[in-house]
């Protein structure tokens, strides 16, 4: 089976974004105030799944809402209908529709659309990364002039202390820190040179899968926090950087703090 048309996927994602343009969405809690879902999340996911399964009959789906976790197929769609639901629910622009297509163990298509900013990021394996039709590339800034996008683990606050220590040490060695509140937009910002570093201690596949291809196709490096390749269908810590040297420094900072914590 051939990989489906990227343009068709982009059209489907744009159409799905129309379901986010409402002031009447409902909000419910999945696990308290930190983990919410809106009726728009569900509507976008349902729309995407219904359209994308027609492009690749027999494909599997790994999605944030409604416990869709079927990765036994040759092709698997990895979808976050709204990455940054908390931002979306409060009218903050950093929220995105994320659609990735995995073929066996490899991401082959990644799409991240930020509707409020009108920014469509996308990549196809081996063909580069793009923003609204223009090819993008990571910056060449060194660690000391890098911006680090990061966050404390809102769903796992038991890890807040070690994350704080990692962030504090990195902050002392880089330029500054940003927290936009959504993984995929931040990784795309790294891919286009708005920032150079990214770290989160624990994420779900739908948070990072689509954007991970955009990062690598833009010349960046992205792995799990121990430097091993991302598993794509498992929860994982994520570290990314604009180049191998900056990635090495960031993983060394993380590894030192994790090893110290384990020795306590």
Q: Select which of 12, 38, 64, 222 is catalytic.
A: 64
Q: Select which of 9, 65, 78, 83 is catalytic.
A: 83
213 compared with 65, residue with greater pLDDT: 213
Question: How far, in Å, CA of 157 to CA of 154, rounded?
Answer: 6
User: Residue 34's pLDDT band (boundaries 50, 70, 90)?
Assistant: low
Burial per residue of 121-160, b for 16 or more beta-carbon CB atoms within 10 angstroms, e otherwise: bbbbbeeebbbeeeebebbebebeebbbbbbebeeeeebe
User: Residue 259's pLDDT band (boundaries 50, 70, 90)?
Assistant: confident
Q: Select which of 82, 109, 167, 249 is catalytic.
A: 82
Q: Select which of 41, 65, 80, 196 is catalytic.
A: 80
Q: Select which of 65, 124, 186, 207 is catalytic.
A: 207
Q: Select which of 38, 76, 85, 150 is catalytic.
A: 85
What pLDDT score was predicted for residue 23?
75
pLDDT at position 33 over 60 = no
Burial per residue of 175-192, b for 16 or more beta-carbon CB atoms within 10 angstroms, e otherwise: bebeebbbbbbbbbbbbb
In the annotation, is 176 catalytic? no
What pLDDT score was predicted for residue 81?
96
CATH of the structural domain 6-136, one choice from 3.40.50.300, 3.40.640.10, 1.10.15.40, 3.30.540.10: 3.30.540.10
In the annotation, is 226 catalytic? no
Same fold? 6-136, 143-263: no
90-123: per-residue pLDDT in tens? 999 999 999 999 999 999 999 999 999 999 999 9
What pLDDT score was predicted for residue 264?
58
In percent, how much of the chain has pLDDT > 70? 94
pLDDT at position 1 over 70 = no
In the annotation, is 72 catalytic? no
Determine the average pLDDT of the residues in 239-263: 90
In the annotation, is 11 catalytic? no
150 compared with 258, residue with greater pLDDT: 150
What pLDDT score was predicted for residue 128?
98
In the annotation, is 41 catalytic? no
163-187: per-residue pLDDT in tens? 999 999 999 999 999 999 999 999 9
Mean pLDDT estimate for the chain: 93
**Under 8 Å between Cβ of 231 and 204:** no
Q: Kindly list the domain boundaries of the chain, sorted by start residue.
A: 6-136, 143-263
In the annotation, is 85 catalytic? yes
CATH annotation of 143-263: 3.40.190.80
Determine the average pLDDT of the residues in 214-234: 96
Task: Name the strand (E) or helix (H) holding 104.
Answer: none
What pLDDT score was predicted for residue 179?
96
């Amino acid at each position: 089976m051939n990989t489906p048309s990227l343009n068709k996927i982009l059209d489907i994602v744009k159409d799905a974004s129309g379901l986010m343009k409402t002031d009447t969405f409902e909000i419910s809690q999945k696990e308290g105030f930190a983990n919410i879902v809106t009726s728009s999340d569900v509507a976008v996911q349902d729309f995407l799944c219904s359209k994308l399964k027609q492009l690749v009959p027999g494909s599997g789906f790994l999605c944030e809402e409604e416990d869709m976790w079927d990765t036994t197929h040759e092709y698997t769609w990895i979808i976050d209908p709204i990455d940054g639901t908390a931002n979306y629910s409060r009218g903050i622009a950093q929220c995105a529709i994320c659609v990735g297509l995995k073929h066996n163990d490899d991401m082959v298509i990644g799409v991240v659309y930020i509707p409020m900013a009108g920014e469509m990021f996308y990549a196809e394996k081996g063909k580069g990364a793009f923003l609204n039709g223009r090819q993008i590339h990571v910056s060449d800034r060194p660690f000391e002039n890098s911006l680090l996008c990061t966050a404390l683990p809102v769903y796992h606050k038991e890890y807040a202390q070690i994350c704080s220590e990692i962030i504090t040490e990195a902050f002392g060695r880089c330029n500054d820190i940003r927290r936009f509140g959504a993984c995929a937009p931040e990784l795309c910002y790294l891919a286009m040179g708005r920032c150079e570093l990214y770290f989160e201690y624990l994420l779900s596949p739908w948070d990072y899968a689509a954007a991970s291809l955009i990062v690598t196709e833009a010349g960046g490096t992205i792995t799990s926090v121990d430097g091993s390749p991302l598993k794509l269908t498992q929860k994982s810590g994520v570290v990314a950087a604009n180049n191998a040297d900056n990635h090495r420094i960031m993983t060394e900072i993380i590894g030192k703090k994790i090893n110290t914590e384990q020795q306590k």
